[in-house]
């Protein structure tokens, strides 16, 4: 199956598209810019959801659900918010169709909505309008809400998982009594995202803040995690926003504080989306197909029996049953593939292409010898293992694969992260890809010039970066610290 893939070195973008389609992760919909997430892709997303949902709840958050439709007037209440999303909004104007003898089905002109509705591009406005009725006193705070939902942003140029008109995500929206608490929440959730990226996705990330021009519409500060893909481009993998009191003032969300005075609440919002599927694919996969970190693999171990007839198949099943039970008892997901319509070689290729972390092959001779052949997807290495304590060995192997994927991605990022001091150096370095650490004078004009000249943007101002003062590589003006430039998805 790997021969169906374009090679990464030949055309990375085409390799990505080929892999998404041929590994049965997703496909294009008849609705322009939208996708169908297929069972293999959705099951990985479900594992992401499950892990993140536990992390949210462990930090005190609860789930709720808010409407898909937002009255247009709500968007207008926060000026920078509507300006940031206006060009991406899908608008519902009518609520009924009717038959027409000439044109078939048409919009009924008599069924125009009194107020047009926006299909949510994000939910701050409708959520803050709702919070006005929920928050009255400091006793009602903090309000720590998350929702799992879909949103629509009418993108003109789309790519499966990375940028689609409709996508799945979670969005947290919290209300607090003080500015300090809201900032603390924004930073806490950034840490949650970074932990998830590194410990589950096996993707090293850099935590930072966005420049004013890259900030979320309506936020006072946007925190982000930035990851590097194999082709040297950056991918924003998650954001957390300190919203100040902007939305609370726009929707008049006030509370009585401990001094019995009324004030507006302080807010945060934060989210990650199915874009993380794209991050996973582009960080770990290779020319042989998909590579999935064990913690997010729907099936971590595929067992392929080598049997010539039904009697041998049943014998292998009985022999392997206690091992299967041990693996599952350790929380390992296992598939025993007894499909007699497909040959073992086809199954080997299928599981390798679709990124199953571990594959075990066992036949009659293996049972006699008390052994199995174990193949690991990350290195494509095979080894013969004794079946004694096989569950423990596989458990350790999965841990090793998870760690190896992270270390491999980290090594690539370090190899393609460079420090430059002059604009000429920068222009040369950016053509090779990767993260470029350079001084910037803090102005939007310089940021825009770099973008126009090189197509590179400031990915973030690192929270734990080099704070040594210097001179802007473009203007020579003073700079407080180096920032990260890169070309990005």
Question: pLDDT (tens digit, 9 = 90+) per residue, 161-189?
Answer: 999 999 999 999 999 999 999 999 999 99
Per-chain mean pLDDT for the chain: 96
Residue 458 sits in which domain range? 417-486
- Domain harbouring 315, CATH code: 3.40.50.800
Of residues 143 and 4, the one with the higher pLDDT is 143
Query: Both 392 and 441 in a single domain?
Result: no
Query: Both 137 and 188 in a single domain?
Result: yes
- Domain harbouring 55, CATH code: 3.30.930.10
- Domain harbouring 426, CATH code: 3.30.110.30
pLDDT category at 319 given cuts 50, 70, 90 is very high
Report the domain count for the chain. Answer: 3
Query: Both 269 and 309 in a single domain?
Result: no
Question: pLDDT (tens digit, 9 = 90+) per residue, 409-450?
Answer: 999 999 999 999 999 999 999 999 999 999 999 999 999 999
Query: Both 272 and 310 in a single domain?
Result: no
Question: pLDDT (tens digit, 9 = 90+) per residue, 346-373?
Answer: 999 999 999 999 999 999 999 999 999 9
Looking at 366, 397, 428, which one is the last position of a domain? 397
Q: Is residue 451 part of a domain?
A: yes
Query: Both 65 and 166 in a single domain?
Result: yes
Query: Both 150 and 16 in a single domain?
Result: yes
Looking at 397, 427, 451, which one is the last position of a domain? 397
Query: Both 263 and 342 in a single domain?
Result: no
Q: Is residue 131 part of a domain?
A: yes
- pLDDT score of 82: 77
Q: Is residue 96 part of a domain?
A: no
**Given a cut of 80, is residue 193 above it in pLDDT?**
yes
| Token pair of 118 as six digits | 């926006």
Q: What percent of the chain is modeled with pLDDT above 90?
A: 94
Residues 6 or more apart whose CB falls under 8 angstroms from that of 57 comprise none
**Given a cut of 80, is residue 79 above it in pLDDT?**
no
Looking at 284, 315, 346, which one is the last position of a domain? 284
**Given a cut of 80, is residue 230 above it in pLDDT?**
yes
- pLDDT score of 156: 79
- pLDDT score of 261: 97
**Given a cut of 80, is residue 269 above it in pLDDT?**
yes
Average pLDDT over residues 276-289: 98
| β pairing state of 358-362 and 301-305 | parallel
Q: Is residue 160 part of a domain?
A: yes
Query: Both 232 and 365 in a single domain?
Result: no
Query: Both 245 and 173 in a single domain?
Result: yes
pLDDT category at 343 given cuts 50, 70, 90 is very high
- pLDDT score of 83: 83
Average pLDDT over residues 89-107: 93
Q: Is residue 410 part of a domain?
A: no
Query: Both 230 and 313 in a single domain?
Result: no
Q: Is residue 188 part of a domain?
A: yes
Q: Is residue 343 part of a domain?
A: yes
Q: Is residue 86 part of a domain?
A: no
Query: Both 68 and 153 in a single domain?
Result: yes
- pLDDT score of 452: 98
Query: Both 278 and 307 in a single domain?
Result: no
Question: pLDDT (tens digit, 9 = 90+) per residue, 293-311?
Answer: 999 999 999 999 999 999 9
């Amino acid at each position: 199956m790997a021969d169906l893939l374009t090679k990464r070195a030949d055309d990375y973008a085409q390799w990505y598209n080929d892999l998404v389609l041929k590994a049965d992760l997703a496909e294009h919909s008849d609705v322009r810019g939208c996708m169908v997430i297929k069972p293999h892709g959705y099951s990985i997303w479900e594992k992401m959801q499950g892990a993140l949902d536990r992390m949210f709840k462990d930090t005190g958050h609860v789930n709720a659900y808010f409407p898909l439709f937002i009255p247009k007037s709500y968007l207008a209440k926060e000026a920078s918010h509507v300006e940031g999303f206006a060009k991406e909004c899908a608008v519902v104007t009518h609520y009924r169709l009717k038959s027409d003898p000439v044109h078939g089905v048409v919009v009924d002109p008599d069924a125009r909505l009194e107020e047009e509705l926006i299909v949510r591009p994000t939910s701050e406005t409708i959520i803050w309008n709702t919070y006005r009725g929920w928050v009255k006193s400091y006793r009602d705070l903090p309000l720590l809400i998350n929702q799992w939902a879909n949103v629509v942003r009418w993108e003109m140029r789309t790519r499966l998982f990375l940028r689609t008109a409709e996508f799945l995500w979670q969005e947290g929206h919290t209300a607090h009594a003080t500015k300090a608490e809201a900032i603390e929440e924004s930073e806490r959730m950034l840490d949650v995202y970074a932990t998830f990226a590194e410990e589950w996705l096996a993707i090293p990330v850099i935590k930072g803040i966005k420049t004013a021009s890259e900030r979320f519409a309506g936020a006072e500060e946007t925190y982000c995690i930035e990851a590097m893909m194999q082709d040297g481009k950056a991918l924003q993998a998650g954001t957390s926003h300190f919203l100040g009191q902007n939305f609370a003032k726009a929707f008049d969300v006030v509370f009585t504080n401990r001094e019995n005075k009324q004030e507006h609440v302080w807010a945060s919002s934060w989210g990650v989306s199915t874009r993380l599927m794209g991050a996973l694919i582009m960080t770990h996969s290779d020319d042989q197909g998909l590579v999935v970190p064990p913690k997010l693999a729907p099936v971590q171990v595929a067992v392929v029996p080598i049997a010539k007839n039904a009697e041998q198949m049943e014998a292998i099943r009985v022999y392997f049953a206690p091992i299967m039970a041990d693996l599952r008892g350790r929380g390992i997901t296992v598939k025993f593939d007894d499909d007699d319509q497909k040959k073992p070689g086809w199954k080997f290729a299928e599981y390798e292409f679709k990124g199953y972390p571990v594959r075990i092959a066992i036949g009659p001779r293996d049972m006699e010898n008390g052994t199995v052949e174990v193949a690991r997807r990350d290195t494509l290495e095979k080894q013969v293992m004794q079946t004694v304590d096989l569950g423990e060995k596989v458990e350790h192997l999965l841990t090793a694969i998870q760690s190896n994927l992270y270390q491999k991605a980290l090594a690539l990022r370090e190899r393609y992260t460079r420090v430059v001091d002059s604009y000429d150096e920068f222009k040369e370095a950016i053509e090779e890809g990767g993260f470029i650490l350079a001084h910037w004078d803090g102005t939007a004009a310089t940021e825009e010039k770099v973008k126009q000249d090189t197509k590179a943007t400031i990915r973030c101002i690192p929270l734990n970066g080099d704070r040594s003062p210097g001179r802007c590589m473009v203007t020579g003006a003073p700079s407080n610290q180096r920032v990260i430039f890169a070309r990005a998805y």
